[in-house]
Amino acid sequence: MQQNRPIARRLFLATGLAATCGAALAESAAGYPSKPIRLIVPFTPGGGSDAAARFFGDKLADALGQPVVVENKPGGNSGSIGTALVKSAPADGYTILLGSTAPLVTNVVMVKELPYDAGKDFKPVAGLTKNTTAIVVPANSPHRTLADLVAASRKDPKLNAGTASAGFQLAATWFASTAGFRFTHVPYKGLNQALTDLAGGNLDWAIVDLAGATALLQAQRIRALAVTDDDRHPFFPAVPTVRESGYPQYVYNTWTSFHVRADTADDITRKLVEATLKVLKSPAALEYAKRAGTPLLPLGPADFAKYQREEVERFQKVADAAGIKAE
């Protein structure tokens, strides 16, 4: 019996430790959140994704009773640095990713080596918004319509186009392939840089986030030739869609979401899901969507995961059809 006492004591201590750890985890989940939450935006300030992060971050803070601090972490391949930062953070619900099309969909298609697995390292909390994009030119551009731009580009492949992410590069290349022309690509690290060069006449055209370009459009420093969504945008009803302009198969838009690490505890994730979906149903969110001209995308985790997978499949087909290879 004496020989069994050390074993029994170790079993007792191990059982007690497991119980203590379990209680601590349960307590942390029950008390979540007990400190500020980081919301990582993997892009520069000023675009539609950044605006969505700041609005929904503020409302999530109100719902949870803790500050939500927005941190812009641009860089890498279309948001890969900020996205990888969330992967490396603890899976405790205190670091949320402002997900979007570029890092979670088009990077999967366009980039060979990423520092994360978009489908395995993260899980969605909820969809937030769908964002319209537009094909734009400088205010003094000779191209008055999309047909003008296409005709000029067919004659001169040196005409350049700026994009601020792999997603917009894919969108531009897809359109050029569909319309039968080539162009000189000019990549940018952020939307504001691309818009500045466009307004200054250093670019012939660009595909940009419409929300981020609205101020320059309204100031008549740039012009929109077409929007890339299914329907015309309520802020710019005179601007046709690409589909109306002769390319019925071409529809491109982007989205935003909240994601957390895939191994975040289910009860913590559930709190975030409930709070976010509550915000999405609020009058404030409806007013934001109307004011920003951005439809809401109120999908829960399962529906959004399915939507994200379908987006990857759709854009892989687009890339294959356009002859675009991952680099």
Q: What digits encode the pLDDT tens for the residues 244-289?
A: 999 999 999 999 999 999 999 999 999 999 999 999 999 999 999 9
**For residue 130, what are its two tokens?**
């769908």
**Arithmetic mean of pLDDT, 193-205:** 97
**Arithmetic mean of pLDDT, 171-189:** 94
CA angle 184, 187, 192 (to 5 degrees): 125
| Pair (97, 53) in one structural domain | yes
| Pair (269, 280) in one structural domain | yes
CA-CA distance, 325 to 167, in Å (whole number)?
A: 13
pLDDT at 7: 47
**For residue 35, what are its two tokens?**
């400190």
Residue 111 lies in a domain: yes
Domain that holds residue 180: 132-227
Residue 46 lies in a domain: yes
| Pair (136, 223) in one structural domain | yes
Length of the chain: 327
| Pair (263, 114) in one structural domain | yes
| Statement: residue 80 has pLDDT above 90 | yes
Q: Which of 82, 86, 224 is nearest to 165 (CA)?
A: 82
- HSE-up of residue 158 (Cα within 13 Å, Cβ side): 1
End-to-end CA separation in angstroms for the chain:
67
Q: Which of 241, 195, 186, 244 is nearest to 218 (CA)?
A: 195
